[in-house]
Amino acid sequence: MSTLAQQQCEACQAGAPKVSDDELKELMREIPDWAPVARDGVLQLERVYKFKNFKQAWAFGNKVAELAEAEFHHPGILMEWGKVTVTWWTHAIGGLHRNDFIMAAKTDQLL
Ligand SMILES: C[C@H](O)[C@H](O)[C@H]1CNC2=NC(N)=NC(=O)C2=N1
């Protein structure tokens, strides 16, 4: 079985299944530095990456943006001095799809 980071996102549209509670637990084991957070009832994956300054944070944020465009699956990216907060969820289903875990794992590989 390939790791999450080696997998590709599948085309996802409204009506696609959200991950179940059991799948969530299983998938979270592969991305231990991420946390599931609920915002306005929408479950998301979030990680804060720390950097020495804004320039390094900015460069990482840009890499995440390029990854998102390449996979056509887009996160929230908050760039601050020394920090980048990345948040993955699937807008079309208002929650977490397997794609979000794949993208979180791919994000970690950008470091
Ligand atoms: C039209 C729609 O926005 C696109 O199909 C894509 C773009 N990127 C996306 N990114 C995320 N995270 N969720 C989506 O549902 C999504 N949809």
pLDDT in tens, 12-31: 888 899 999 999 999 999 99
State ipTM: 0.93
User: How far is residue 82's CA from residue 22's CA, in Å, rounded to a whole number?
Assistant: 35
Residues listed for the chain: 111
C-alpha to C-alpha distances, 26 to 47, 83, 98, 107, nearest whole angstrom: 18, 28, 11, 19
Q: Whose CA is nearest to atom 6 of ligand 1?
A: 73
Say what the pTM is: 0.95
CATH number of the domain encompassing residue 84: 3.30.1360.20
Are 73 and 99 within 8 A, CB to CB?
A: yes
Ligand 1 site, residue 44, Cβ cutoff 6 A: no
The Å distance, Cα 52 to ligand 1 centre, comes to 31
- Assigned domain for 68 exists: yes
Are 97 and 24 within 8 A, CB to CB?
A: no
- Assigned domain for 98 exists: yes
Reported as a single tens digit per residue, the pLDDT across 47-62 is 999 999 999 999 999 9
Angle at CA of residue 37, ends 2 and 110, nearest 5°? 45
